[in-house]
Structure 1
Amino acid sequence: MGAFVDDLNAAHDLFRTGIPVWLICHTRELATVRIDKLVDAIDESANHIIPLHDAPGFIDTQDESPEHPIVYQGLTHKAERYLAMARYICGLYSYSI
């Protein structure tokens, strides 16, 4: 579990509550951001398994079968997210005659 954000205040709030945060920003903004730790991205050799550091067990990130549809790709504060979710839900409940 974690969040990708582009807002420093949201990143701060999530970090303080203990939620992992990935801050997305333009490289020109890096001079104003303190980075405490860089971590490697998950690669294929990890077999889509993320070990938990503070608890026993792991998070399985393998694709579902059948695959779940991608409803929206983008940042969370954009209105397009809600439009995409509405279109998806309307499609679930539309019946063909």
Structure 2
Amino acid sequence: RSRLTLPEEQSKVFLLFSCLQRMFLETYARWQWLVHWLPRLRALGTSHPVDTSVIGAFTADFNIAADLLRIGCPVWLVRPLREKQATPIHRIIPPLDETFHNRLPLRMSEFELDLADAEPPHRLLFSG
């Protein structure tokens, strides 16, 4: 019998799908960088407004942060707490902890994303 007709374990199917999804998202992000962001970076002397539709990038390097901000990419500048006095801080955002109750606040919106398990559970799509 063909391997395509044999059922697989649910965990293996999920693993393969998540690997495929990750490869797709990484490839899409690289394509976006080449098509959208790199031309802006190469155009010296230009500045773009920050695109709030993207998550942005984390960096500890001031030069990288300046370049990304110039091309309109949101930047999260990560600095050691000991440098707090020397770094101008506009806003401190605390990390999420156990008290967030599976609710993630959405940026630039009053809505929250519910990350809790469905109650009652979602219907079963696969069993194997």
TM-score by length of 2: 0.33
Q: Which one has a larger percent helix, Structure 1 or Structure 2?
A: 2
TM-score of the pair, normalised by structure 1: 0.40
Q: Which has the higher contact order (CA 8 A, sep 6+)?
A: 2
